[in-house]
Chain A
Amino acid sequence: MHPVIEVSGVRKTYGKTVAVEDASFEVNQGEIFGLIGPNGAGKTTTMECIEGIRKPDCGTIAVLGLDPYRQVYKLQERIGVQLQQAQLQKRIKVWEAVDLWASLYGKKVVDASRLLEQLGLTDKRGAWFMNLSGGQKQRLFIALALINDPEVVFLDELTTGLDPQARHAIWDLVRGIRERGKTVFLTTHLMEEAERLCDRVAIMEHGRIIDIDTPDGLIRRHCPERTVVLVQDNESGGEHFEKIPQVESVTRDNQRFTIRGRGDDLVTEVIHCLSESRIRVTDFRSILPNLEDVFLKLTGRSIRE
């Protein structure tokens, strides 16, 4: 695997506000790479520097071996871009937008009607942009980002404001883009989205990238805690759980026990203990930490704040 995007020491300020500070990372060919963090963390600015829309104050960026700012027109032939909160002309029809975009590229473009079919927009090809639902608009923007058969696709806050069903449909589409061998660079403030979609993520806060890894790797390194919640049938206490080496605390609320500990073995050990002591259990649940917990750990605050 070789990097298609190389970012090194990028800094960008707006007046006195530092939007991005010393950002460095690489994105490999064929992966879905997510830049995650709360709103205002500098994700969009970073992405727009990589797309060649903004000029970084310092640092270097290479996308497919090109300087995005100086060679922006050359680059735009080879990338696809979806911008955050972008709009089209209210009364432009779906097919007109696709047709216009298709005419802008010097090279062969993909079959527009097939693309609309893949994105479930065939029924809407004659509809005005303003009359599309949020999900349909985003699917149209994906279509426009894919029209030139790009090597790298940029998606900025793709599913913000969509209902869960539309969100899941978009995730499937993005996975489909990766399956076609393309590299996807996306930003999101939704940790669930990052966890379910991205091969690797970079966590960004206050303009700085604080860690980069696979979602699993981040969770394993920063949040080794595991929690098991179970409801016991009989009146016996929780002493037997406390004997498990990985367990750090056991709290009890009537017959409901919350067992906290660390390490992947915790769940196995609890199950083992239950079967050995022949304890009847009416409910059993294990809670794994997620990227949201990682973010809380790394920054001391919730991403939703």
Chain B
Amino acid sequence: MLRGLWKLTWIEFKVFMREPLGAFGTIGVPGLIFVVLGHVRSLRFGSPSPVASGLPPGNVPILVALLIAISAVLSLITIVSIYREGGILKRLRATPLRPQTILSAHVIVKLLLTAATLALMFLAGKRYFPPGAHVPWFSFTIALLISTWSILSVGFVIASIVPTARFAQPIGAVLLYPMIALSGLFVPVSNLPPVLRFVAQGLPLTYAVHLLQGIWAGDRWLAHLGDIAALTVLFLLFTAISAKIFRWE
């Protein structure tokens, strides 16, 4: 039953954009990070890395894309916990709205904002790419949306366990940002100690990084069916977990 989904999605989108810092915080800040990082690291293709560190220059867009996805997930966790604490979720549930419709509306809003942020990042980063350089922006956007969608399901699990809205942002951040360290972006997953490697294999970020790196480098989608399958399986798994433990009030 999707009755009310589009109306609710549109309202949630407008409500979010009315938030002070809502639009700027989600769309503007990652763009800014990209520009700053770009200045520091120089994204120009082929130019040698000015700073010898763990992050290869080609990974800057991947890192920023992950930050965009994670900021969307953090925002979702915060909104869900505020809605729960304020009784908004309960109020919406006491209507013919189905629970899955309420949550789907938020997922759609987050995916739209992710796409918008990424578009801004491409615009902001345009001047760092040499003319004629091939950036697969469309495929990359799709890859990021698939990744975000999968990571959002982890967000619902976190949103189920945060005790109050006040803790939503810090707990979400503490759980999500370390996942970047395990994702293979800085250290290849195969070089991790066995326990961490096992954990990494259960996290959508790991497959997201592999997928995004591949698509950025110009790989064909067929080469990454495994990543997409893993992201889908993890999405289903985490969604099933959150369906079990999710609290509406």
Contacts and interface: CB of A to CB of B under 8 A. Distances in A.
B3 interface: yes
B90 interface: yes
B7 A99 contact: yes
B91 A128 contact: no
B88 interface: yes
**Chain A interface: which size bin?**
20 to 34
A302 interface: no
A90 B96 CA distance: 21
Contacts of A99: 7
A86 B87 contact: yes
A89 B94 contact: no
Interface in B67-119: 83, 86-88, 90-91, 93-98
Interface residues of B, number: 22
Given A86-B88, A89-B88, A77 B7 contact: no
B104 to A, nearest CB: 14
A51 B94 CA distance: 8
B130 to A, nearest CB: 43
B93 A89 contact: no
Contact of A128 (B12, B18, B90, B95): B18
A96 B14 CA distance: 10
A103 B97 CA distance: 10
Nearest to B17: A91
A88 B91 contact: yes
26 contacts: A51-B94, A53-B90, A53-B93, A76-B95, A76-B96, A77-B96, A81-B95, A86-B87, A86-B88, A87-B87, A88-B91, A89-B11, A89-B12, A89-B88, A90-B15, A96-B11, A100-B4, A100-B7, A100-B11, A103-B7, A104-B3, A104-B95, A104-B96, A104-B97, A105-B96, A128-B18
Interface centre among B18, B90, B93, B94 (most CB of A within 10 A): B94
A96 B7 CA distance: 9
Given A73-B96, A104-B4, A104-B96, A91 B19 contact: yes
Interface of B: 3-4, 7-8, 11-12, 14-15, 18-19, 83, 86-88, 90-91, 93-98
Interface string A93-114: 0001001110111100000000
A160 to B, nearest CB: 14
Interface of A: 51, 53, 73, 76-77, 81, 83, 85-92, 96, 99-101, 103-106, 128
Contacts of A85: 87
A89 B4 CA distance: 16
The 5 closest A-B CB pairs, nearest first, are A87-B86, A86-B91, A91-B18, A86-B87, A89-B15
A83 B96 contact: no
A83 B3 contact: no
A87 B96 contact: no
Nearest to A51: B94
Given A76-B95, A104-B97, A105-B96, A86 B14 contact: no
Nearest to A128: B18
A86 B155 CA distance: 24
B165 to A, nearest CB: 12
A76 to B, nearest CB: 5
A100 B12 CA distance: 11
A83 B87 CA distance: 9
